[in-house]
Amino acid sequence: MRILHRASRTDEIDQALNALVSRRPYDPETALVSDVIDTHTQAMSALRSDPAATGPAAGTWNRVLRANAQPTAKGQGTMSATATLQSPLPGAISAPARKQAGGFSHFVNIAASVLVVAAIAFSGWFATMHLQPSGDNSNGLLGMAQGTPGLDSATCDVEPLSVDEVMAIVENPYSAFDHDLITSRDWLKVWEEKTGYDLLETNSPAIDQQLLDGFTYPATQPSFDGAVDRANGFLVCAQKGTIGQVFVYMDPKEIQRIVLANHPVYRSEEQVRATVIELMEMPGSTFVFPGGDTLHASSLSLAVNPEIDSALVAQGAGVSRYDATRVMMFGIIATDTDGTVVYQSDATGVASPVAGLERTERFRLIIKQSSIDGQWYVLAILPDMIYVI
């Protein structure tokens, strides 16, 4: 009887609440139900009294439409925009390995050990140096960078950097930057006086927790589309291109860091050049997604998460340390050949599980907008792991 009585009161409470939400009158039989009605009414009164609870901002619908107008937002566009991942490369690693004298496994391992994969970019110095005053920049680096494969392209057809261009970046990625750290150094003697790690310590900090802590929410619209296009161009070349093509999209400081990280001890310019020559022809995926077994497991197309709300922007020091007007972080979306999204992460690293696999990676792409030329350059992809039960 007691159970029946309790059940009937539960039912009556439920019926009273259903009447309330349907704005129909209800005559409570018990004080208990009256209390529930009073409580609900009081809660609704509090909610209605708050002007901020009225409804979404006027521009919210436009944001929805704008987001859905982007081809990458619907899978099909993403599919056509990105290339299919290659099989795992022999050089792709899941954990740092011991240093070896020369050789690319060492190179790859160091890059992975600091969790900074993509370094690349074309500094303003390079862009400025190669641009023609007349505006004919078809052969310049900036022109090359702007001619990136867009969302409709499934191939990486950007002209790769030359060995000489990479060597120039390694020697001094900041020639055009009016910065004491740069101007106070005699960069021409870099091969004679500086080891790779010396330079890394003073000039090219890796993506670290300090930067990650500086990211906040949400991103803002200015230049967002440009960042998405550049990031997707980077991903296409990471999947189908060479390191020389991937470098087109990367921050020069990161290029320098990657190259010099292969030389923890003194090396001659000739030795570094030999390394760069070999490096440039390596598949772009070598440095992107080290240990990325999950996304390499099947044929997938990748693009950054195009939802601006899922992107983050860096604040304060996180921006200034990269000579950028803005630093943003994106999640990544992977779609299969049917256009179905099988993996999705947002900038905070929240990632959807990938069916059938024990773990997935919280891939995040970090990109900066140069304070010199306004172009977006990829800093890194962070493939930190999560484990899915």
Partner 1 sequence: MYAQMPDNTASDDELTIIAAALRDPAAFAPLYEQHAPDIYRFCYLRLGQREAADDLTAKTFIRAIERLHQYRPKSGATFRSWLFAIARNLLADEWRRRRDIRLIPPIEDLTHDDYPGPEQLAIHLTEMDRLRAALQYLPDRQREIVELRMVGFNTDEIATTMNTTIAAVKSAQARAYRTLREHLSEGVEP
Tokens of 178: 């009016």
Of these, 86, 128, 146, 348, which contacts partner 1 (CB under 8 A)? 348
Residue of 181, 188, 277, 350 interacting with partner 1 (CB under 8 A): 350
Rounded to the nearest whole angstrom, what is the least distance from the CB of residue 309 to partner 1 in the complex? 5
Alpha-carbon Rg for the chain, nearest whole angstrom, is 26
Residue 364, φ and ψ in degrees, nearest 5: -135, 140
**Complex with partner 1: residue 229 or 307, whichever CB lies closer:** 307
Q: CB of 68 within 8 A of CB of 301?
A: no
> Which residues neighbour 336 within 8 Å (Cβ) at sequence distance 6 or greater?
298, 299, 300, 301, 342
Size of the site for partner 1 (CB under 8 A): 59
Question: Do residues 83 and 308 make contact, with C-beta atoms less than 8 angstroms apart?
Answer: no
The nearer residue to partner 1, 24 or 98, going by C-beta atoms, is: 24
- Adjacent-strand bridge partners of 351: 345
* Neighbouring-strand partners of residue 377: 368
Stretch 241-300 residues interacting with partner 1 (CB under 8 A): none
220 binds partner 1 (CB under 8 A): no
State which of positions 73-132 bind partner 1 (CB under 8 A): 73-75
| 217-242 residues labelled b (16+ CB within 10 A) or e (exposed) | eebeeebbeebbbbbbbbbbbbbbbb
Pick out residues in 188-207 that bind partner 1 (CB under 8 A). none
Find the part of the chain contacting partner 1 (CB under 8 A) among 18-26, 182-190, 234-242, 285-293.
18-26
> Is 47 or 317 the residue whose CB approaches partner 1 more closely?
47
Is 380 a residue that touches partner 1 (CB under 8 A)?
no
Dihedral over Cα of 26, 31, 36, 39: its sign:
positive
**Contact status: 221 vs partner 1 (CB under 8 A):** no
333 lies in the site for partner 1, by CB under 8 A = no
In DSSP terms, 360 is beta-bridged to 386
Of 331, 334, 344, nearest to 300 by C-alpha is 334
- Work out whether 337 is an interface residue with partner 1 (CB under 8 A): no
Q: Which two tokens stand for residue 303?
A: 């693009």
For position 384 contacting partner 1 by CB under 8 A, the verdict is no
Contacts of 188 (CB under 8 A, 6+ apart): 171
The 27-66 site mask, x for binding partner 1 (CB under 8 A), equals x-------xx-xxx-xxxxxx-xxxxxxxxx--xx-xxx-
Contact between 18 and partner 1 per CB under 8 A: yes
Contact between 318 and partner 1 by CB under 8 A: the answer reads no
Contact between 229 and partner 1 per CB under 8 A: no
Among 165, 229, 323, 346, binds partner 1 (CB under 8 A): 346
How far is C-alpha 140 from the chain's CA centre? Answer: 26
Q: Looking at beta carbons only, is 82 or 175 nearer to partner 1? A: 82
Helices (H), 22-174: 31-49, 60-69, 76-81, 104-113, 124-130, 141-146, 163-171
Token pair 């390394």 is at which residue?
275
CB of 77 to partner 1, least distance (A): 11
Our CB check for partner 1 shows the closer of 59 and 135 to be: 59
User: Which parts of this chain interact with partner 1 (CB under 8 A)?
Assistant: 9-11, 13-22, 24, 26-27, 35-36, 38-40, 42-47, 49-57, 60-61, 63-65, 67-69, 73-75, 215-218, 307, 309-310, 312, 346, 348-350
